[in-house]
Amino acid sequence: MQYMKPSTATEASDILARNEGAARILGGGTDLLVQMRSGMIEPEMIVDIKHLDGITDITAEDGGLRIGAAVSGQRLGEHEGARAMWPGVVEACELIGSTQIQGRCTMAGNLCNGGPAADSVPAMIAAAAVARIEGPKGARDCPVEEFVTGPGKTVLGKGEFVSSIFLPARPKAASDAYLRFIPRTEMDIAVASAGVNIVLADDGTIKSARVALGAVGPKVVLVADAADAIIGSKLEDPAITALVRACEAAASPIDDKRGTVEFRTTVVGVLAKRAARIAMDRAQENATGEKT
């Protein structure tokens, strides 16, 4: 097995293109190493991207934040700006794995894994995050909701890899939240999850919203109907009921060892409702500067 440590994106892309199928990218490695140890994969080459410029940095850009692909959950969680602007994304990323895993795991890796239960992904989609992809033809951007095409499958082509995630700027009176259901309190995989991002109008009603659901289909879904259900409301009961119904309708889960169709469908609505309320409280706090 070969270990490669490219120092530029072009070099990394080149190596990946030349070794398509044989090479695997090492960022945090928290999925890669587990898959190797368990015998699921036996890559001939490991391409360590942690030494590329800016890949471990969080930088301000156009009022938003660019999160390097090798920024760990721990680093993101310690970033005051990220916590203030996108608390839902940060709390989602911090749910990945254990304390030890947090020292290594990355949002980009969580995304590239292509799993429907990836914790950071519903939050990123709700946040309208954009993945920056480097490849043989240079850089391109892809909205996170378009990145995963099916379980374990992504838009990444030959020689391509994710170099950063961009979290866009947002107005002051806005916030987000992420909740997942797991049978225990940590060290688990979401049985259902929901990320909710809202922006308030001056009158305190919801001006715009994005709702994304995880683990209730082959990939994370952005549910426009769920957002529409709460836009214009202050999360009064009818809006909440409509939100729950829209989420239940958008869920297409399977029965498996982690949960039943019935359970996932019910719980994803509950999570969306609760996440919306948390996001609302946070947005109101941001708008008024006071705890609600």
Partner 1 sequence: MNFQSNTKANFKVVGTRVPRPDGVDKVTGRALYGADFNVPGMQVGLILRSPHAHATINSIDTSKATALPGVKAVVTSADLGVPEDESLRDVQDNCLARGKVLYDGHAVAAVAAKDMATAKAALKLIKVDYTPLPHVTDVDAAMKLDAPVVQEARADESVPEGCGPNVTHYCEFGHGDLESGFGMADLILERSFTTAATHQGYIEPHACVASYGTDDKADLWCTTQGQYFVRDLCSGILGIEGSQLRVTASEIGGGFGGKTTVFIEPVALALSRKAGRPVKIVMSRVDVFRATGPTVSSSMDVRIGMTKDGRITAAEAKLRYQGGAFPCGTVDMGAQAAFAAYDLKAVRTQGWNALTNRPKEAAYRAPGAPMAIYAVESVVDELCQQLDLDPLDVRILNAADAGTKSSYGPTFDQIGLMATLEAAKEHDHYHAPLGENQGRGLSCGFWFNFGGNTSVSLAINSDGTVSVTEGNPDIGGSRASISMMAAEELGVAYEKVRTIITDTSSLGQNDVTDGSRVTFAVGLATIKAARAAIRVMCGRVAKIWGIDEDAVVWEDGAAKPSGPNAGDFEPMTLADIAAISSETGGPIAGHHEVNAEGAGVSFGVHLADVEVDPETGATKVLRYTVFQDAGKAVHPDYVEGQMQGGAAQGIGWALNEEYIYGDDGRLQNAGFLDYRIPVASDLPNIDTVILEIPNPGHPYGVRGVGETPIVPPLAALSNAVSRAIGVRLHELPMSPPKILKAVMAKG
Distance CA 25, CA 257 (A): 30
- In the block, which residue shows the tokens 């992420």? 178
| 189, 201, 231, 242: residue in contact with partner 1 (rule CB under 8 A) | 189
| 17, 36, 201, 270: residue in contact with partner 1 (rule CB under 8 A) | 270
Q: Is 281 in the site for partner 1 (CB under 8 A)?
A: no
Is residue 192 within a helix (H) or strand (E), and if so which, with residue range? Answer: strand 192-200
Dihedral sign from CA coordinates of 162, 123, 175, 142: positive
Residue closer to partner 1 (CB basis): 65 or 191: 191
Q: Name, in order, each residue with C-beta under 8 angstroms of 37's C-beta and a sequence gap of 6 or more.
A: none
Residue closer to partner 1 (CB basis): 62 or 186: 186
- Pick the piece of the chain touching partner 1 (CB under 8 A) from 100-108, 118-126, 152-160, 186-194: 186-194
- Pick the piece of the chain touching partner 1 (CB under 8 A) from 47-55, 70-78, 184-192, 279-287: 184-192
Using CB under 8 A, count the residues that bind partner 1: 20
Rounded to a whole number of angstroms, the distance between the first and last alpha carbons of the chain is 56
Distance CA 211, CA 230 (A): 10
Residue closer to partner 1 (CB basis): 257 or 291: 257
Q: Is 181 in the site for partner 1 (CB under 8 A)?
A: yes
DSSP alpha helix (H) spans, the chain: 9-18, 32-37, 73-77, 80-85, 87-93, 99-102, 107-112, 120-126, 144-147, 224-230, 237-250, 261-288
Report in angstroms how near the CB of residue 143 gets to partner 1 at its nearest: 30
Query: Smallest Cα–Cα separation from 225: which of 200, 204, 242, 207?
Result: 242
Report in angstroms how near the CB of residue 138 gets to partner 1 at its nearest: 39
| 166, 258, 279, 287: residue in contact with partner 1 (rule CB under 8 A) | 258
| 185, 203, 289, 290: residue in contact with partner 1 (rule CB under 8 A) | 185
Distance CA 201, CA 48 (A): 45
| 33, 60, 187, 224: residue in contact with partner 1 (rule CB under 8 A) | 187
| 186, 202, 237, 290: residue in contact with partner 1 (rule CB under 8 A) | 186
Distance CA 187, CA 72 (A): 17
Report in angstroms how near the CB of residue 259 gets to partner 1 at its nearest: 6
Question: What binding mask, one character per residue, do residues 129-168 give for partner 1 by CB under 8 A, x or -?
Answer: ----------------------------------------
Strand residue runs (E) in 144-173: 148-150, 153-154, 161-167
Q: Is 259 in the site for partner 1 (CB under 8 A)?
A: yes
Distances (CA, A) of 9 to 4, 64, 142, 234, 286: 13, 23, 17, 46, 38
Question: What binding mask, one character per residue, do residues 26-65 give for partner 1 by CB under 8 A, x or -?
Answer: ------------xx--------------------------
Backbone angles phi, psi at 259, to 5 degrees: 175, 165
Interface residue list for partner 1 (CB under 8 A): 38-39, 181, 183-189, 191, 257-260, 262-263, 266-267, 270
